Structure 1
């Protein structure tokens, strides 16, 4: 499997919508009736998925990996590519942002959200900062009128956080500011050079940049969406679940086990990922950076899905409500 490079673009923040292709065209491993482990192909990104990566990096932490199921991670930079691979039957599931999953369901993609991978919780864990040059006079969201905000992609969680923060401050995101799409590693220099006035700085970039004292936080993701978001979630094909229930349940149980290990042994778990070259980053920064909040039992916060869906409707990113009772299913969690 391709090495997971944490220092690359934080593609989870760059939520693309679905491209062309028909749903579940070919290749689903659920068609296989072999006596061996069921192959589970999961589409992943480049950041925030450490407890999931541990299932591959340290299979000794799991009980059923290699017995009841065999995990295969496939890495994608863009969420649109991940969704297209899923719709073509090349994946049984994957990780996606909350808004992207609602938008996918609104476009008719059949999927079930089965577990939370990472949360964005007010005052708990890392919240994503939007930063400006110190001394620029940009000290609050209200100072952003006429300014340019750097984001990884349009219709992304980052875009949603910025737009809702602007609206809460009485600004119109469609008239009062400009948005510039640029890769995350370019944000620091783009702010310093004046190419943009404010930009999102995720981990581990924030842990490397903050001690320099050259940039300051203007607002965070929670100024825009002040609820406990299931920022990154795990979805699966409903047909695969029904046809491979034993393997799926075993996978979920092992994921809960590795999540528990990660939360109770965070530095040791991160060291495993560094040693196995799942992450290529500065050891000191990576081992000590603040992580996002996570759900120890992988449970979903349904109330936050209701709130995020309201925002997507207000922004006209979706045309009508998605049936969240059909979309969300964490009944397999113990």
Structure 2
């Protein structure tokens, strides 16, 4: 009798456990089903998705629109902090940024137009997705090369035997200078010397006479001109009188593939920031000063003439600059620019 009772209790326990397990399984299935009702996945999963960090390598000049994006609030950059975040590091020159990029320390960055073509030709895998600043004849500011007002240098011809400060070799500054020298009948490889000089140190380098002429982008040009101590000898357009996307933004193609929505959102915010900057220059630059992005005299910086700004690449300009680089021996041969340029991620014009 006792054995029958014990057997009955065991059977009852097993049945109870089987029912409990079945209920648990059904509950789990129901939860999973309700979480995937919408095509885009569950709301809970979407809310818990972390924004993608974009490690960006920038520079020290002419990057106002990037700095403005970095400090912009939700009203101006609604996607920032949601689908992506910006982590900006500053580098002295193109070569430093590319070294960091190749070492896997950056996902994106700013780069000179010519430097991006050279990088591609050398096998560095990158995609140029937009322009940060243009250098356009008779539209906006053109980068100036300045000497001391007291110097005897009055024209490009007077630069024979002199030292010219540029930000980097194989960069826009290098191309502009060589083209300007040739336009005056000088040989850039024989008639002058070049000194690689960081942009923030250019003013002091000219004043101390370590170099005779230096490259002055904004806001360094505005401050130098306001001081009355400098004069312009030539500009970026002296030897290359065409529209250049001289400073561009590039991304790692693998990063784009893995984070396409984040890159599109970044570019949508960037376009909004550029549009705002073009329409509200002084107010935008005041925001940049207030955020400590620029250490400049507000009276000079706020009213300075700025470069031509856009987000859309000028393909004809790229073809012309590439031809110059081939003729100068910087590139062995032209290549298909769509291998380097990707305009598909920008908002429609």
TM exceeding 0.5? yes
Q: Say whether the 8 Å CA contact 1:57–1:278 is kept in structure 2.
A: no
Q: Distance in 1 between matches of 2:225 and 2:247?
A: 24
Contact 1:40/1:69 (<8 A) preserved:
yes
Deviation at 1:122, TM superposition (A): 0.7
- Please tell me whether residue 103 in structure 1 is matched to residue 103 in structure 2: no
Q: Which of 313, 317, 323 is matched with 2:326 structurally? A: 313
SS at match of 1:110: coil
Aligned length: 299
**1:190, distance to aligned residue in structure 2 (A):** 4.5
| TM-aligned CA distance change 1:78 to 1:117, over 3 Å | same
Q: Could you tell me whether the CA contact under 8 Å between 1:133 and 1:216 is conserved in 2?
A: yes
Q: Which moved more, 1:323-332 or 1:191-200?
A: 191-200
2: CA distance, partners of 1:212 / 1:224: 27
Higher relative contact order (CA 8 A, sep 6+): 1
After the TM superposition, which of the residue ranges 124-133 and 192-201 deviates more from structure 2? 192-201
What TM-score results when the alignment is normalised by the length of structure 1? 0.83
- Note closer, same or farther for the CA distance 1:68–1:214 as it changes in structure 2 (3 Å cut): closer
Shift of 1:292: 1.0
* Cα distance change of structure 1 residues 149 and 82 upon mapping to structure 2, 3 Å threshold: closer
Deviation for aligned residue 1:194:
4.6
Quote the residue 1:300 is aligned against: 313
| Bigger Rg over Cα | 2
CA RMSD of aligned residues (A): 2.0
Query: Pairwise mapping of residues 271-282 of structure 1 onto structure 2 (< 5 A)?
Result: 271-282=286-297
> Partner of 2:52 in structure 1?
38
Residue 141 (structure 2) aligned to one of 111, 118, 126: 126
Superimposed CA distance per residue, residues 59-94 of structure 1 (whole angstroms, 9 cap, x where no aligned partner): 321121122222222222232232122223332211
Structure 1 stretches of 5 or more lacking a match?
1-33
The one-character-per-residue Cα deviations of 1:154-179 (angstroms, maximum 9, x if unpaired) are 32221211111111222111122222
The separation in 2 between residues aligned to 1:211 and 1:70, in whole angstroms, is 37
2:246 alignment partner in structure 1? 231
Q: Matches of 1:146 and 1:74 in 2, distance apart?
A: 37
- Please name the residue that 1:113 is paired with: 128
Describe the superposition over 1:187-212 as per-residue Cα deviations: whole angstroms up to 9, x where unpaired: 44554555433222222222122133
CA distance in 2, matches of 1:146, 1:177: 5
Deviates more, 1:183-192 or 1:138-147: 183-192
Seen in structure 2, the aligned counterparts of structure 1 residues 271 and 212 have a Cα distance that, compared at 3 Å, is closer
Q: After TM superposition, give the deviation of residue 278 of structure 1 in Å.
A: 2.0
CA distance in 1 between counterparts of 2:68 and 2:238 reads: 32
- Superposed, 1:216-255 pairs within 5 Å as 216-255=231-270
SS in 1 for 2:87: strand
Query: What is the TM-score when the length of structure 2 is the normalising length?
Result: 0.79
Distance 1:254 1:146 in 2: 47
Q: Which residue of 1 aligns with 2:97?
A: 82
Change (3 A) 1:257 1:186: closer
> How far does residue 303 in structure 1 lie from its aligned partner after superposition?
1.5
Question: Quick check: which one's helix share is greater?
Answer: 2
